Structure 1
């Protein structure tokens, strides 16, 4: 809907400041400093009159080409573009400079123009919403989503953070360094609850995008849920969990299974013993109070995710977001309509990175790996090129981690880290601001739970020590190993030959 149509329905004159528009355009053609200070925060749509929009586009074009901007060059640019008549003619452009009293207040004038534009946009959008709401054929949920999207688009297009000077950035950086120095805890970010992982990452940092990728059945959701539980229960950090694959009830049942050590199969089929029912009641109490906010909306678009995260941040001050999983999202808009899935995933990953910076929180998105892992020989450890559907995921992510379970591929022999049975490696393959490495965790599939490895036995004892079943035979005595005591091998108290007195 155009401005004219919207305001004809309302019967009121749209918000505008034509005199200020003339003054701003005149100042841009007279004062180079005014041009440099405001060109990045001005937009053509800020100007109400179409002639003024055309003139500003010509000014912006000259600025992009690094050409001089004054009354004569702007008129010449309009003439070359065939837009001089649309701008009101050469005389109209030349007389704009007569409206400039001083360019000293141009930034304030630009702010007034932006406010008038926001008012016009809000009136136009709300008028469209009212018209659509009267149309019985429109789906109400679609109408709500479209309304929210259009309002958020205004915000995204116009409210951008400005540059920051070095003195403010250095001060903030020094304060963070001092805070870390004075703290007894090496984990300065959001802790995952896994010691070795937090040592590598120092906790998940604000404004970062973390990709947790694996093949199906490796335990991506279980690991993410365990992290979310640790953050919310152990460290009292509010977190949001967006599940596009599983329902909220299924996720909570997994959490209950992990917390109570009752298998998910038993929880699903029933038949719990009396003691198990007592455990169910007692151990789930902490989950009741956990600040975990689960959204299981299927087919979530990146726009819907952004809107939900903003509301959760505002209402509950969430400290981290989990997304299960990336390839089930859709970008919405043109990226979805063109049918190119790789471009769509690229758009989603870029938006997730931008969202993490906007809300200043870490975002962890799970992702599927390609089948190349299965077809590759050797130990089948995943690598960065295995990320499915888009290389942009690797580029946008600050951390890329893989889950690798050796025993899943039949590799049960101990390795340099110790036993591999019932273990999983979290491989940090990319870490933009730190080191890479591998962390071994204990994985219990029956309870969908990951845990810290408390003790890793030497590799020669990884499968345990075999029992001796030949006590009665003499040969068993031959295998006895005797280690001398230090008392038999050395004299700890040398002889004292001196007199007693």
Structure 2
């Protein structure tokens, strides 16, 4: 059962001020509900007992809901036994107060308006509470002063108020439910028949996934050195660049296969990521860029690439040690300010949980984080790509291709993810077992070295993107190329393709 966010509990009024409330509207609504129980269906999805300013009214409202939910009549007679021992009702005349609430039948006509006003006033009280807490926290210097943390907490609380102030949940008609599906199908048709979401930057992967879809949590996992950070960065860059190109071509943002993107890098700094992207676009190795070992011509290529990327809608947050709550707050802020359409997190295991339970173990913490990332994807309606480490048991198998059971520390990652992608590069493992170069007279060693060399040559620069789980389609292996010099993934050349010969 989902936890109810109690954002509107009564708070003590500040000196010389009165909190927004209308107790008369609360009484009129309760009377209307007891006169006509059918009205409960109209208000119960949005209005909760903690929205009432008068606590007694909240308890009466809860009792009405309990009775109607069990298909019993809720009126002053059936409610009387539930309130005979209630101290607060004794102060207003005892259970007879219930009958007084039904005194005006005219209240039935305005019941929905009363419910809306009670709800709106509760949100205003909640807003006052958040503002008061913010002021008190800012004035209190008895603890460690952490203004940025206070701001993030305030943003989280404000978002709770805004979230509860949104449209209440309701069932959709079939026509409404299929509208998005038809739009996705049209988008895939217009893109050439395989891309209904945002581009991954790899045609073969687009064909397998149909692109990156809104509200999906995509896990990209691999052992260290496989290139998961590179793939996550490549995807974020591809989505942002596609948006830039589509905008230049006059394509509406809603029909674009790209979007502004944000990359939360808990491992690498922003300048390191920028160096990677510049290396990919200029063709100059990251090592040469860092050490300055470039020619004048290469510098001109670098300047050209940098100029082209100046307006790229790609944002990098390299704040270390983020909690899942802080990350969600920052992502929501960027959604509001920059209208981001993709979130990339590098990487999941470096995030921290809420830490509310001191005895909480790491598996529970990872479960909280993966669940929080999925909730974020649904909240702001964007695909979220989370990079993840794999356990060392991969290294102990002869076939080192990852499996879902290798996801590190928690099975909830597999459960929460809509898509799970593994990266496997055989050349990485072959390089680790490279034999020493034998002398010409060591024939046995020479044969083994040549065998290894042939295997390495066949695997060099190749990678497998393994789609191990996909809610929207089939699983399988997508073969791509990986340039370790520039950390760039690209589509593999079809070696079986031969151009048509013309006489």
TM score, norm. by length of structure 2:
0.83
The 8 Å contact of residues 54 and 83 in structure 1, kept in 2 or not, is answered as no
- Alignment partners' CA distance in 2, 1:92 and 1:320: 55
The 8 Å contact of residues 51 and 88 in structure 1, kept in 2 or not, is answered as no
Helix, strand or coil for the counterpart of 1:52? helix
Q: Per-residue deviation at 1:44?
A: 1.5
- Alignment partners' CA distance in 2, 1:309 and 1:369: 25
1:402 aligns with 2:422: yes
1:429 aligns with 2:437: no
Helix, strand or coil for the counterpart of 1:127? helix
1:165 aligns with 2:176: no
- Alignment partners' CA distance in 2, 1:92 and 1:79: 11
Aligned with residue 7 of structure 1, among 4, 8, 13: 13
Q: Per-residue deviation at 1:43?
A: 1.2
Aligned with residue 330 of structure 2, among 308, 316, 340: 308
Give the corresponding residue for 1:103: 108
Give the corresponding residue for 1:20: 25
Q: Deviations over 1:224-257 (max 9, x none)?
A: 1111222222442311111111111111111122
Give the corresponding residue for 2:435: none
1:180-219 equivalence runs, <5 A = 180-181=188-189, 184-219=192-227
Q: Per-residue deviation at 1:59?
A: 2.4
Give the corresponding residue for 1:49: 54
Give the corresponding residue for 1:488: none
1:273-422 equivalence runs, <5 A = 273-332=295-354, 334=356, 337-375=358-396, 377-410=397-430, 419-422=458-461
Give the corresponding residue for 1:462: none
Q: Per-residue deviation at 1:298?
A: 1.2
- Alignment partners' CA distance in 1, 2:288 and 2:466: 32
Alpha-carbon spacing, 1:176–1:260, altered in 2? closer, same or farther (3 Å): closer
Helix, strand or coil for the counterpart of 1:241? strand
- Alignment partners' CA distance in 2, 1:87 and 1:150: 35
Q: Deviations over 1:431-476 (max 9, x none)?
A: 1011111111111222111111124369xxxxxxxxxxxxxxxxxx
Q: Per-residue deviation at 1:220?
A: 0.7
Alpha-carbon spacing, 1:110–1:419, altered in 2? closer, same or farther (3 Å): farther
Alpha-carbon spacing, 1:184–1:298, altered in 2? closer, same or farther (3 Å): same
Aligned residues between the structures? 453
Helix, strand or coil for the counterpart of 2:206? helix
- Alignment partners' CA distance in 1, 2:91 and 2:263: 52
Q: Per-residue deviation at 1:104?
A: 4.1
Q: Deviations over 1:296-353 (max 9, x none)?
A: 111212222222222222222222111111111123263x645232222222222222
- Alignment partners' CA distance in 2, 1:28 and 1:403: 59
1:103-182 equivalence runs, <5 A = 103-137=108-142, 138-159=145-166, 160-181=168-189
Point out where structure 1 has 5 or more consecutive residues left out of the alignment.
459-501
- Alignment partners' CA distance in 2, 1:104 and 1:337: 52
Of residues 436-445 and 121-130 in structure 1, the stretch that sits farther from structure 2 once superposed is 121-130
- Alignment partners' CA distance in 2, 1:373 and 1:212: 16
Helix, strand or coil for the counterpart of 2:32? helix
Point out where structure 2 has 5 or more consecutive residues left out of the alignment.
1-6, 245-258, 432-451, 498-503
Q: Per-residue deviation at 1:368?
A: 1.1
The 8 Å contact of residues 6 and 123 in structure 1, kept in 2 or not, is answered as no
Of residues 349-358 and 336-345 in structure 1, the stretch that sits farther from structure 2 once superposed is 336-345
- Alignment partners' CA distance in 2, 1:19 and 1:191: 55
Of residues 154-163 and 121-130 in structure 1, the stretch that sits farther from structure 2 once superposed is 154-163
Of residues 286-295 and 301-310 in structure 1, the stretch that sits farther from structure 2 once superposed is 301-310
- Alignment partners' CA distance in 1, 2:454 and 2:203: 22
The 8 Å contact of residues 423 and 441 in structure 1, kept in 2 or not, is answered as yes
- Alignment partners' CA distance in 1, 2:317 and 2:86: 51
- Alignment partners' CA distance in 1, 2:286 and 2:279: 6
- Calculate the aligned-residue CA RMSD, in Å: 2.8
Give the corresponding residue for 2:271: 249
Q: Per-residue deviation at 1:163?
A: 2.6
Give the corresponding residue for 1:59: 64
Of residues 270-279 and 62-71 in structure 1, the stretch that sits farther from structure 2 once superposed is 62-71
- Alignment partners' CA distance in 1, 2:494 and 2:191: 27
Helix, strand or coil for the counterpart of 2:102? helix
- Alignment partners' CA distance in 2, 1:387 and 1:260: 35
Helix, strand or coil for the counterpart of 1:210? strand
Give the corresponding residue for 2:231: 223
- Alignment partners' CA distance in 2, 1:87 and 1:337: 45
Alpha-carbon spacing, 1:172–1:149, altered in 2? closer, same or farther (3 Å): closer
TM score, norm. by length of structure 1:
0.83
Alpha-carbon spacing, 1:338–1:72, altered in 2? closer, same or farther (3 Å): farther
The 8 Å contact of residues 275 and 289 in structure 2, kept in 1 or not, is answered as yes
